[in-house]
Amino acid sequence: MVKHPKPLVEIVGTGRYVPDRVLTNADLEKMVETNDEWIVERTGIRERRIARDDEGAAQMGAEAARKAMEEAGVEPGEVDILIVSTATPDRWLPSTACDLQALLGAGNAMAFDICAACSGWLYGLTMAEGYLAAGRGEIALVVAAEKMSSITDWEDRATCVLFGDAAGAAVLKKATGDRGILSAHHKSDGNLADLLYRPGGGAAIPMSEEVLVDKGHLVKMSGREVFKNAVRSMADASGTALEKAGLTGDDIDLLIPHQANIRIIKATAKYAGIPMEKVYINVDRFGNTSSAAIPVALDEAKEAGIVGPGTVILTAAFGAGFTWSGMTIRL
Ligand SMILES: CC(C)(COP(=O)(O)OP(=O)(O)OC[C@H]1O[C@@H](n2cnc3c(N)ncnc32)[C@H](O)[C@@H]1OP(=O)(O)O)[C@@H](O)C(=O)NCCC(=O)NCCS
């Protein structure tokens, strides 16, 4: 029996939401100079989901959150802390978490957003863990809601083939036994900010006609550099999370990596010593849905019976910032 720290909080419910609209590689071939073979070979992505124009991050998050609360047997009014991870807030003020709070009727919660890109949901779990462990509340709801299609440049073939829209959520309570978060490792490096960013439309370069014309409000990415740093940071995230829990790849029932690129996923699995049969992959169906990718994958894996109570998962993410996170969880 592997020794590990006693968990402080456990996940008692999960939920996911993906929009109905499917955008395939064949559809993208009609929009930009690309082809299915290139996209599949370089990324593993075959299709992605795109939200309706009138569907925002809060609405998508609410769908996922309701399912997570239902599984947990928790009423909206019982939630003490509501954290939303999003790179695509519905508006700059107030937070998407407050809009989501109103949609859910979670009137007793403190609600706020965090911006840690694709690592945001894992960052959120750790923030909720600290809050609950400090005795400030009993129930946390951590949601990731991403409408990446709203910040994608649909004329830039280097980025538009990668992203999709989705939301995922989990309800957390204080742990009562050996189930829960076993270890976490979070890092960021702001020196790498300009590898993946939106240059304009914020306080430094406010929205203007010029920003719009230059598409400064949309995602810009140095793909090759992001790739290199992603492989490096995913290795640190997964390796350190395992080490902190006193576990090795052999102890892991399922690796749920951030779903950005199949080649990055394979490199992460290899580094962590986990065979590909024990790696959850849905990047082919959803593309990169930023911080929603991991909770969506976790909820799918639970529904498919791949993981369940007592199973140990390793999860790892990287994203703009740069940010990266690894976590081991006994479900
Ligand atoms: C984006 C990514 C798939 C590109 O793959 P790559 O092997 O690095 O490809 P490159 O950027 O070196 O481009 C190779 C060629 O393909 C071309 N290309 C780029 N996008 C293309 C597309 N959608 N279709 C066809 N060709 C494309 C490039 O223009 C380049 O052509 P050139 O050699 O004539 O200049 C890869 O870099 C990647 O996955 N990076 C990480 C991105 C990521 O995960 N971002 C999210 C972080 S959370």
Cβ atoms of residues 237 and 294 within 8 Å:
no
Assign domain 9-177 to its CATH architecture: 3-Layer(aba) Sandwich (3.40)
Contact 84, 127 (CB under 8 A): no
Locate the domains of the chain by residue range. Answer: 9-177, 181-330
* CATH class, 181-330 region: alpha beta
**Domains 9-177 and 181-330 equal at CATH topology level:** yes
pLDDT in tens, the chain (331 residues): 445 579 999 999 999 999 999 999 999 999 999 999 999 999 999 999 999 999 999 999 999 999 999 999 999 999 999 999 999 999 999 999 999 999 999 999 999 999 999 999 999 999 999 999 999 999 999 999 999 999 999 999 999 999 999 999 999 999 999 999 999 999 999 999 999 999 999 999 999 999 999 999 999 999 999 999 999 999 999 999 999 999 999 999 999 999 999 999 999 999 999 999 999 999 999 999 999 999 999 999 999 999 999 999 999 999 999 999 999 999 9
The pLDDT of residue 5 is 73
Ligand 1: distance of its center to the CA of 224 in Å? 7
> Ligand 1, from 42, 43, 264, 284: best to mutate by most atoms within 8 Å of Cβ?
42
pTM (predicted TM-score): 0.97
**Which of the residues are catalytic?**
118, 258, 288
Is the preceding omega at residue 318 within 30 degrees of 0, hence cis?
A: no
Q: How far does the centroid of ligand 1 lie from the alpha carbon of residue 261, in Å?
A: 11
Write down the pLDDT at residue 4. 59
Q: What is the whole-number distance in angstroms between the Cα of residue 244 and the centre of ligand 1?
A: 34
Q: Are 100 and 61 in contact (CB under 8 A)?
A: yes
Q: Which residues have any ligand 1 atom within 6 Å of their CB? A: 34, 38-39, 42-43, 118, 157-158, 161-162, 196, 221, 223-224, 226-227, 230, 260-261, 288, 319
Per-position DSSP letters for 109-157, written without gaps between them:
SEEEEE--GGGHHHHHHHHHHHHHHTTS-SEEEEEEEEEGGGG--TT-H
* String of DSSP letters for 40-76: HHHH---EEE---TT--HHHHHHHHHHHHHHHHT--G
